[in-house]
Amino acid sequence: MKPDRIAILAIVNLALAVMLLVAGIFTYNSIDRLCGIAEYDLYDITDYSYIVPTEAEGLMVTNYLSYGGDLEIRYGATAIGAGVFNGVRLLNQANPQVIDSIYLSDGVKVIESSAFFGTQAKWVRLPSDVTYIGDLAFAEAYSLERVYFDEVPDHHIEISPTAFAYLEGVEFVNFPDYIVFGEDNLVSYK
């Protein structure tokens, strides 16, 4: 190989290494900033039951590993991180994972952007304590049939206009009257 080609390859490899280092630092700082602001400890679900088995409070679920099935987030988790249960990402893994149903226990207050984007789940039980549902959180979940609260929440919930975008035939149960689902299930407020 010619010396000038070797030099070019070395420069390209060095540039890639620098980009990866910067991306890693940015990701670490973003997570660290999020934890500082929201006062969350990060929780990585790596068992095979999809369950947060803790009584500690202030945990943000950031990742998980499982074989699929029913997802239950028990008491202890207070936030679901961005893209954690993204159905598109899960199906494109070497070991595809399909979530059949989602039960978010009371105590979960924040559902970040794209948390369940494209999920294959048929139903979602939302926690009564939720205060924020981010952009595309449940969007394009074409298998979704029902999204519900056990009872109408008695506090204000901020829902991104695109949180439930592009769903068809979904039944929304016990949502507050001030939340309006328009065309393509885009959310607005009365």
Amino acid sitting at position 64:
Y
- Indicate the SS3 state at residue 27: helix
Per-residue pLDDT of the chain (190 residues; tens, 9 = 90+): 577 777 777 787 677 666 665 555 544 444 444 443 344 444 444 433 334 444 555 678 877 666 667 888 877 788 898 888 887 666 666 666 778 888 998 889 999 999 999 888 899 999 999 999 999 999 999 999 999 999 999 999 999 999 999 998 899 999 999 999 988 888 888 7
Domain boundaries, the chain: 1-38, 41-189
Residue 122 φ then ψ, to 5° = -90, -30
pLDDT of amino acid 57: 57
Q: Which of 153, 146, 164, 114 is nearest to 130 (CA)?
A: 153
Cα–Cα distance, 53 to 17 (Å, whole number): 38
Q: Does the reported pTM lie above 0.95?
A: no
pLDDT of amino acid 63: 73
Cα–Cα distance, 160 to 17 (Å, whole number): 36
pLDDT of amino acid 31: 42
